[in-house]
Amino acid sequence: MSDISFDTARRHVLGLGCERGMSPAEMLALAIEALDLADIGAAELAAIASIDSRRLEPAILAIAAHFSVPAVFFDALRLEAETPRLANPSAIVFARVGCHGVAEAAALAAAGPDAELAVAKIKSAHATAAVARILLQNG
């Protein structure tokens, strides 16, 4: 988490999951929809988060570049540890990647133990997105 700077302005993480080779344009539309649902602007975003198997996924890297924030990645075991906090755990996702959710779990993992989902998982044809908000102790 050292790549992420949380403060009163940047206290949200956008979690993303996707099929390999998906369109960056589709991912950007979903990301913007998630931020709109969270009622936050790009300046409030601290990071993009996903599963480590998507570390080189062009669509995810394009979203991090678009918003000028770091992309952080977690292995399936770390994401699985977030299952109790997920709004939409999925046995299908678990069968495919080894954790019960990617977008929600990655957002929560990056935002830390004092975070909550601001936007539960939303979907496009080839991706998922969720937004976690870190709850600051003094702000």
CATH number of the domain bearing residue 93? 3.30.420.180
State the total domains in the chain.
1
Q: Is residue 7 part of a domain?
A: no
91-104 tens-digit pLDDT: 999 999 999 999 99
14-71 tens-digit pLDDT: 999 999 999 999 999 999 999 999 999 999 999 999 999 999 999 999 999 999 999 9
Say if residues 48 and 13 touch (Cβ distance below 8 Å).
Answer: yes
pLDDT exceeds cutoff 90 at 75: yes
Domain of 86, in residue numbers: 12-134
Q: Is residue 6 part of a domain?
A: no
Q: Is residue 4 part of a domain?
A: no
The helix (H) or strand (E) run that includes residue 105 is helix 103-111
Residue 118: closest CA among 17, 35, 19: 35
- pTM check: above 0.85: yes
Q: Is residue 41 part of a domain?
A: yes
Q: Is residue 3 part of a domain?
A: no
